[in-house]
Amino acid sequence: MLSSLDNIIIKYPRTKPSGGGAGDDTLSPSGIQNNAPESSFPEDVAKIGLIADTIYIPFRPSLGESERLPADLKFVEQVRTALPNVKVKNLLPFVDRVRWTKTAAEVEAMRSACGIVSEAFKEAARLTRPGLKESDIEAAVSYIFRRLGSERAAFLIIGSGPNSCILHHMKSNRQMEENEVLVIDIGNVYCSLSDDLTRTIPTSGKFTPEQKKITEGFPPIRSAWERGDRRSRPTGTKPTMSPSNRVRCSRSSRDLHS
């Protein structure tokens, strides 16, 4: 049982964007009252071995070489080295099982968050035209986010023309031209939830014949995903996609990019 006194849950300490460590303001977003600076973390970890025989840490399994471990796995190894007699287990399987079932309040918050990002996209699509800059669309999306109650933007990726081919293009400094495509990849934070919406639209209002030929490759992929989505429910268990649908998605995606 995770609630027993001999188990402790700890999380990899992340440094703030400003470079500072954990402080008094940790209480506001997390609800955790007992917090301390990161500099005292090694000493506090050493004390854990005196009161617990198992520690749960959220981390993703490593898929690469040990010398190129991501930060969270390096942290796990540091804890194991500091506490050789304490078992270190992965918390994520437990958290994932809890996440798959949503309460009515969580479902409503998710719908509200998705409603905000959908309205922001509609406004971005309405404004898009040759002559505007990517930053103009970014500003419009940010405005809609805040006006509709979003806490902040989770990310704003606006790429036109050649920038539409750059994964996570972040500069938003290019002026859009006629007969190009614009990738709008946006998300907002609402009630501590982050969503993600990505669409590709024509800058001139209509796709060119060549662009349309490419976009016509997407329906098979969309159809397969929709068949999988129909099997999931807001308060149900983990949604799954049948092997046949996975094959259809894979084949359609491969054909589209070949």
Same domain flag for 141 and 183:
yes
For the entire predicted model, the pTM comes to 0.66
Q: What is the DSSP string of 187-252?
A: EEEETTEE--EEEEEETTSS--HHHHHHHTTSHHHHHHHHHHHTT--TTSS-----HHHHHHHHHH
Same domain flag for 174 and 241:
no
- 254 vs 234: CA distance, rounded Å: 31
Residue pair 137/184 in contact (Cβ under 8 Å)? The answer is yes
Same domain flag for 139 and 63:
no
Q: Looking at the domain assignment, is residue 112 inside a domain? A: yes
Helix axes 71-82, 41-48, angle to 10 degrees: 50
Same domain flag for 71 and 143:
no
How many independent structural domains does the chain possess? Answer: 3
Domain that holds residue 21: 7-97
Same domain flag for 148 and 118:
yes
Domain boundary among the residues 47, 78, 97 is at: 97
pLDDT score at 21? 45
β-pair partners for 34: none
The domain that contains 51 carries what CATH number?
A: 3.40.350.10
Domain boundary among the residues 81, 97, 113 is at: 97
Same domain flag for 111 and 172:
yes
Measure Cα distances from 210 to 36, 183, 213, 216 in Å: 58, 17, 5, 10
Same domain flag for 109 and 91:
no
Same domain flag for 163 and 115:
yes
Q: Where are the beta strands (DSSP E) in the chain?
A: 7-9, 54-57, 87-90, 152-160, 181-190, 193-194, 197-202
Q: What is the pLDDT along the chain (258 residues), one digit of tens a residue?
A: 344 434 555 555 554 444 444 444 445 555 666 667 777 777 888 888 788 889 888 888 765 555 556 778 888 888 888 888 889 999 988 888 888 888 899 999 999 999 999 999 999 999 999 999 999 999 999 999 999 999 999 999 999 999 999 988 989 999 999 999 999 999 999 998 999 999 999 999 999 998 888 777 666 656 666 665 555 555 555 555 566 656 665 555 555 444
Same domain flag for 136 and 156:
yes
- Which residue in 185, 120, 177, 198 sits closest to 158, CA to CA? 185
Q: Return the ∠ at Cα 90 (arms to 87 and 92), rounded to 5°.
A: 160
Same domain flag for 193 and 251:
no
Q: Looking at the domain assignment, is residue 1 inside a domain? A: no
Residue pair 157/170 in contact (Cβ under 8 Å)? The answer is yes
Same domain flag for 140 and 185:
yes
The token pair at 80 is 């194991």
Q: Looking at the domain assignment, is residue 212 inside a domain? A: no
- 76 vs 91: CA distance, rounded Å: 12
Same domain flag for 128 and 33:
no
- 57 vs 73: CA distance, rounded Å: 10
Domain boundary among the residues 44, 70, 97 is at: 97
